[in-house]
Amino acid sequence: MSTPIPRPPGIPLLGNIFDIDPNNTWWSLKTLAEKYGEIFQISVLGHRIVFVASAALAEEICDEKRFRKYVGGPVIEIRAAVHDALFTAFHHEESWGVAHRIIAPQLSPEAVACHFDAVSQCTDELISKWKGIGSQNQIRPLNDLQRLALEVTVLTLFGKKLNCLHGPDHPMLLAMEESTSEAIKRPTRPKLLNWLVYGGKLKRATKTMRNFAAELLQERKACGPDDTRRDLLWRLMNVKDPETGKALSESQIIDEIVTMPIGSSTAPCAISAGILFLLQNPDALVRARDEIDAVVGDGPLRQDHVAQLPYVAGVVRETLRLSCAAPGFNIEPVPRPGDESPVLLAGGKYQVAHNQAMIIVLAGVNRDPAVFEKPLEFRPERMMGDAFEKLPDGVKKWFGNGKRECIGKHWAWEFLVVVMAKLIREVDFEMVNPNYELKQDGWFNIRPVDFEVRVKPRRQ
């Protein structure tokens, strides 16, 4: 006999609507995971959702023979902006395979290694900015790191230098924030309310993002056939799918241009959290700096150094584990035509409906005490070498899973390691509030709330 999946009590008709803060959904789910354990469920406006928060169950439902990505809820809402792009395409839509086969070669490990100089130079610009703001500064590092991520994304993938590290926030940053926040909130509201009151917010953000992408596309078209850049934008415009022979339409190119900055927005959230973790664990900061100094010496950081920094890699992985910058992803059972029997989990301990949507809550999975000793502690060494290899796959899902995992995971890794290494090497940080404790909010990404530091050149 199966064990009932626990659920907060809720109230009639509305269900558990008050157990989830629509302005901080993922923190609410983290809190519920801490209370209810490896699996729990809620009901909102009659809609039932199951959440998985243990490594073992996460690994089980990442078995692509039994389960697949669920395209629903907030992912459906963001289709208003990017239609059937990589992140939002339904399984039956041919567009996913066409776009994936066109894009993937440009985001392979070998291809993203060629971006090193651009990532490094843009990071140098940010460090120079921070070194020039005086010793009494007080900043939220996330703000500038978001600018950096957009700058690097557009430069490396679409060949344009935005120069957005200075001046007012780029309109794309605000539009990304507004579109993803609205996409998260819309499923929790009555449809009529979304249409009457909130519809304009998503439409305005969508228009801004798509206009930005269209301008990038038109600028490249204007360069003509003599343009020698062979970046992702070139592939989107010129390469046909080797399997079907199909090319992307102009609207589909714009879809993918908009998708990439939204996807890369998790990276600055992780780095901001990483700065906090290192400040809270000064021994880890010293060890990371010693490794960088030993490997790099007095010269500049080079691409070949990236693979020679195992402790820095451990810092990045441990940061991804604890920050959960990409906080989770949706899973559903693979349809079984003619079979509507319940799906069994954990060897029959739990059962869910044949079509039940489930969400993996990484804030629970990544802190599973069955896997990690003292899971709340920041320990980069457990993310290195044999220790890392021996961890179950369920706690390595920072970029999603399987066929539908993040296509930009190699780009993200290069960005995270290079930026983190350069900041550790060249910048000293000091918390404005030494007693600051991590709290996060966010939408398709989550980030530290009100985390402020003072920055200055590193003391040698």
- The per-residue pLDDT for range 263-304, each reduced to its tens digit, is 999 999 999 999 999 999 999 999 999 999 999 999 999 999
Q: Is the pLDDT of residue 197 over 90?
A: no
User: Is residue 380, in this structure, part of any structural domain at all?
Assistant: yes
Per-residue pLDDT at 120 exceeds 90: yes
pLDDT, tens digit, 9 for 90 and up, residues 7-61? 999 888 788 988 999 889 999 999 999 999 999 999 987 889 999 999 999 999 9
pLDDT confidence tier of residue 198, bands split at 50, 70 and 90:
confident
Number of separate domains in the chain: 1
Look at 48-62, 177-191, 306-320, 370-384 and tell me which has the smallest mean pLDDT: 177-191
Q: Which residues contact 68 (CB under 8 A, 6 or more apart)?
A: 91, 331, 332, 333, 334, 403, 404
Residue 288 resides in a domain? yes
Residue 86: what pLDDT? 97
What is the share, in percent, of the chain residues with pLDDT greater than 70?
100
The pLDDT score that the predictor gives to residue 187 is 85
Mean pLDDT of 163-169: 96
Higher-confidence residue: 249 or 199? 249
Residue 416 lies in a domain: yes
- pLDDT (0 to 100) of residue 283: 98
Asked whether residue 85 is domain-assigned, the answer is yes
The answer as to whether 204 is a domain residue is: no
Token digits for 40?
A: 């729990």
Place of tokens 């369920």: 394
Residue 219 in any domain: the answer is no
- Percent of the chain clearing pLDDT 90 (strictly above): 91
- Domain at 33, CATH number: 1.10.630.10
Is residue 190 assigned to a domain?
A: no
Examine residue 217 and state whether it is found in any structural domain, yes or no.
Answer: no
Q: Which residue has the higher pLDDT, 22 or 455?
A: 455
- Determine which of 10-24, 68-82, 167-181, 306-320 has the lowest per-residue pLDDT on average: 10-24
Residues 127-151 pLDDT 10s: 999 999 987 899 999 999 999 999 9
More confident residue, 460 or 396: 396
Q: Is the pLDDT of residue 460 over 70?
A: no
Structural domain including 273 reads 17-100+115-141+261-457
For the cut 80, the answer to whether the pLDDT of residue 339 exceeds it is: yes
Mean pLDDT over residues 221-240, rounded? 95
pTM of the model: 0.96
Q: pLDDT tens digits, residue range 75-99?
A: 999 999 999 999 999 999 999 999 9
Position 73 pLDDT exceeds 80:
yes
Average pLDDT, rounded, for the chain: 96
Angle between helices 409-426 and 282-296 (to 10 degrees): 100
